[in-house]
């Protein structure tokens, strides 16, 4: 079906929903008629399937990707006074979760071509208070993990992978969420594996860590109405788990569709003066949660695309270390030069599995026209 090229959405779920409407309604009805609405069979089944998919022993469903990071940190004993190294070129939830645990985020710069943590700068950020590293697998590609794992071993540090944008991505054959002490996933609707609302999960291979995560998400309880330790209320909903159980076996097919769109962009925009295309590191796979370019006259390009009916977005226009809400951390302009430079040039083009190919070709034509005429 040909889309209306006067309006090209940045992301849309309606075509996929219509194609599987009966399946989704059947899944939801199954929950409603099961007699169990909280932490029932759907959550248990999804946890088992996600763990198998990621190549870990356990997965624990929670209510959001933010809580996934927060609970992973808490379960690992990270708290007040501890420093956690991460990046500022990320969604606020990464930093919000670190702060919710009581820890102090310490920012390291990113690579200019991948937007990922520059692992060569991590060692110089270490202090006596450093307890953990949170690498953010951004846009659909994983951080270079081997040097981080080696650093963590040598300094007795924990690693929590932020996998919100990289479900299924691999690093030398190992999936996101399987390399660190824990992996934190978001199932926000736009994500590679998305629900129809909020949801998240933590992956782990340490049985004791998984058991503690299950306690923490349920008020610190193991059985009955008795808290073994101070806990929280952060449970993946049965309805969302049922939807995720339907979608998980189809996620790799959806990623191939994303990669096909990315291939159209790669081929169509290659050689265009004024833009740089996403880089993919050797030994990595890219899930293309985002297709993010670096563009000269970025704001002009974004405005031109909008005039032509094409939605695009900036992920992220303001580095977290320069946001007013986190000014108490003492961040200043110039602290992270690559991160700050990227915030002025990055632009994410529309990409989602059901995006019509003619829409992708239209985006290519418009981007080329902008730089040809400007």
| pLDDT score for 174 | 98
What is the rounded average pLDDT of the residues 58-85? 98
What is the rounded average pLDDT of the residues 261-273? 97
| pLDDT score for 373 | 85
Model confidence at 59: pLDDT above 80:
yes
Mean pLDDT, the chain, rounded, equals 97
Do you know the residue count of the chain?
A: 374
Q: Which two tokens stand for residue 213?
A: 């995560």
| pLDDT score for 374 | 74
Query: How do residues 122-152 score in pLDDT, each as one tens digit?
Result: 999 999 999 999 999 999 999 999 999 999 9
Tell me how far the alpha carbon of residue 318 is from its chain's centroid. 17
Cis peptide before 316 (omega within 30 of 0): yes
279 secondary structure, DSSP code = P
Query: How do residues 278-317 score in pLDDT, each as one tens digit?
Result: 999 999 999 999 999 999 999 999 999 999 999 999 999 9
Q: Which two tokens stand for residue 227?
A: 């808290």
Q: Helices 207-216 and 65-75: crossing angle, nearest 10°? A: 120
Q: How far is CA 9 from CA 197, 233, 313, 359, in A?
A: 19, 35, 11, 9
Domains contained in the chain, CATH given: 15-249 (3.40.640.10), 251-373 (3.90.1150.10)
**SS3 state at 185:** strand
Confidence band of 4 (pLDDT split at 50, 70, 90): very low
Contact status, residue 140 vs residue 257, Cβ threshold 8 Å = no
d(CA 272, CA 325): 38
224 secondary structure, DSSP code = T
| Region of residue 5 (left: phi > 0; alpha: psi -120 to 50; beta: else) | alpha
Q: Which residues pair with 60 in a beta bridge?
A: 202
Question: In terms of DSSP bridges, do strands 83-87 and 174-175 run parallel, antiparallel, or are they unpaired?
Answer: unpaired
Listed residue (100, 142, 98) closest to 283, CA to CA? 142
d(CA 102, CA 12): 36
| pLDDT score for 204 | 98
Contact status, residue 135 vs residue 176, Cβ threshold 8 Å = no
Model confidence at 223: pLDDT above 90:
no
| pLDDT score for 6 | 60
Percent of the chain with pLDDT strictly greater than 70:
98
Cβ-Cβ contacts under 8 Å for 201 (sequence gap 6 or more): 46, 47, 50, 59, 60, 61, 62, 68, 184, 185, 187, 236
| pLDDT score for 1 | 36
Strand (E) or helix (H) holding 194: none
Contact status, residue 137 vs residue 143, Cβ threshold 8 Å = yes
Q: How far is CA 349 from CA 40, 72, 73, 163, 193, in A?
A: 39, 32, 33, 21, 19
| pLDDT score for 264 | 98
Cβ-Cβ contacts under 8 Å for 124 (sequence gap 6 or more): none
CA angle 279, 282, 283 (to 5 degrees): 125
277 secondary structure, DSSP code = P
Tell me how far the alpha carbon of residue 279 is from its chain's centroid. 17
């Amino acid at each position: 079906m040909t889309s209306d090229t006067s309006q090209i959405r940045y992301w849309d779920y309606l075509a996929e929903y219509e194609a599987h409407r009966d399946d989704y309604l059947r899944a939801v009805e199954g929950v409603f008629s099961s007699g169990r609405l909280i932490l029932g069979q759907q959550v248990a089944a999804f946890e088992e399937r996600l763990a198998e998919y990621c190549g870990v022993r356990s997965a624990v469903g929670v209510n959001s990707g933010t809580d996934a990071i927060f609970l992973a940190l808490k379960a690992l004993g990270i708290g007040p006074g501890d420093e956690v190294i991460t990046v500022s070129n990320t969604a606020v939830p990464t930093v919000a979760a670190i702060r919710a645990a009581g820890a102090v985020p310490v920012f390291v710069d990113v690579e200019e071509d991948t937007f990922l943590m520059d692992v060569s700068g991590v060692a110089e950020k270490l202090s006596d208070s450093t307890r953990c590293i949170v690498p953010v697998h951004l846009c659909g590609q994983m951080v270079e993990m081997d040097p981080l794992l080696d650093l963590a071993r040598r300094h007795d540090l924990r690693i929590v992978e932020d996998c919100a944008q990289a479900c299924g991505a691999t690093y030398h054959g190992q999936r996101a969420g399987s390399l660190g002490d824990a992996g934190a996933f978001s199932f926000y609707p736009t994500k590679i594996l998305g629900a129809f609302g909020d949801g998240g999960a933590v992956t782990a291979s340490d049985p004791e860590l998984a058991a503690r995560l299950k306690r923490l998400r349920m008020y610190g309880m193991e059985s009955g109405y008795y808290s073994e330790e101070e806990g929280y209320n952060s449970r993946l909903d049965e309805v969302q788990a049922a939807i995720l159980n339907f979608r998980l076996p189809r996620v790799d097919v959806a990623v191939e569709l994303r990669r096909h769109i990315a291939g159209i962009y790669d081929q169509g925009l290659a050689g265009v003066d004024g833009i740089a295309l996403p880089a993919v590191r050797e030994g990595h796979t890219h899930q293309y949660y985002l297709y993010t370019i670096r563009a000269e006259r970025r704001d002009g390009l974004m405005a031109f695309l909008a005039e032509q009916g094409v939605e695009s977005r900036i992920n992220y226009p303001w580095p977290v270390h320069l946001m007013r809400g986190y000014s108490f951390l003492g961040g200043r302009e110039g602290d992270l030069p690559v991160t700050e430079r990227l915030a002025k040039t990055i632009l994410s083009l529309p990409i989602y599995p059901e995006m019509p190919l003619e829409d992708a070709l239209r985006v290519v034509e418009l981007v080329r026209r902008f730089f040809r005429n400007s």
